[in-house]
Amino acid sequence: MDQFTEAYKQTGPCCFSPNACFIAVAVDYCLVIHDTLSFKISYIEWALDSEYILCGLYKRPMIQAWSLTQPEWTCKIDEGPAGIAYARWSPNSRHILTTSDFQQISSSKFIVSNVGLFLIKGISFTQDGKYAAICTRRDCKDYINLLSCHTWEIMGVFAIDTLNLADIEWSPDDSVIVIWDSPLDYKVLIYSPDGRCLFKYQAYESGLGVKSDSWSPCGQFLAVGSYDQMLRVLNHLTWKTFAEFDAPLSSVRGSCCAAVFKVIVCCYFISLNSTRT
């Protein structure tokens, strides 16, 4: 599928630079140089109901959205000097969450509405899409903000015991939230939605810590990938280590229509006596 930018004014010849990074365009008596990298689309994401699609042009900075059921409907979000670092659909497919270059997150129901939070990294929605957990940092302290995805009002805020939070994720049954610290401090925390810390896990003290975490689809196990090239699996009842694997992986992901095959090597012995005539 071809991709096109908006029309640019041109009254004379145009020419690409040898490295294709720039294009020179003659406009009346002026020569305008455009950066071709700024023409490219940075991000594309479908809404969960497959009725809308958004396109992120972060370097412009601008977000555009279109409707497949209503071709005449379009949406354009321009954050101006604040810039856009990231954009995504909310679970109800009717809101667009944008993160500015100043780490400010906004909710857009096709009209930008600031919710006044400053995003570090990490936002996770419940499976039913009713609530969102958003990480914020104030006065050198990490916090979890629980928001209603219907009104985007803050339902609760609680501080967490991390030095510099890396990311968060709701469990598949939405009963707990897993939080892991930056690689400089090995710490995995299990919190209830009301702010109670249920368990702290630390495999070792010295060395880099957690790379990534991932819940099993049933929510009974939590896989923790660490910088010591080990994959540790915790159970959801005692939060103790259930299994350990030597897995030098860069990330831990749940299964996504993956096919796993087991290769069985069979050895056959042929008797020479049986082949003689």
Each residue's pLDDT tens digit, 201-231: 999 888 888 988 899 998 899 999 999 888 8
Is the pLDDT at 277 greater than 50? The verdict is no
Q: Scan for tokens 């928001």, then name that residue.
A: 147
- Go through 71-85 and write b for each residue having 16 or more CB atoms within 10 A of its CB, e for each that does not: eeeebebebeeebbb
Average pLDDT, the chain: 78
Is the pLDDT at 250 greater than 50? The verdict is yes
Is the pLDDT at 196 greater than 80? The verdict is yes
Distance CA 210, CA 223 (A): 11
Q: In terms of pTM, does the model score above 0.85? A: no
- DSSP helix, strand, coil percent of the chain (3-state; round to 5): 5, 45, 50
Quick check: 93 and 51 in contact, CB under 8 A?
A: yes
Each residue's pLDDT tens digit, 73-113: 888 888 777 777 778 888 888 888 877 765 555 544 433 33
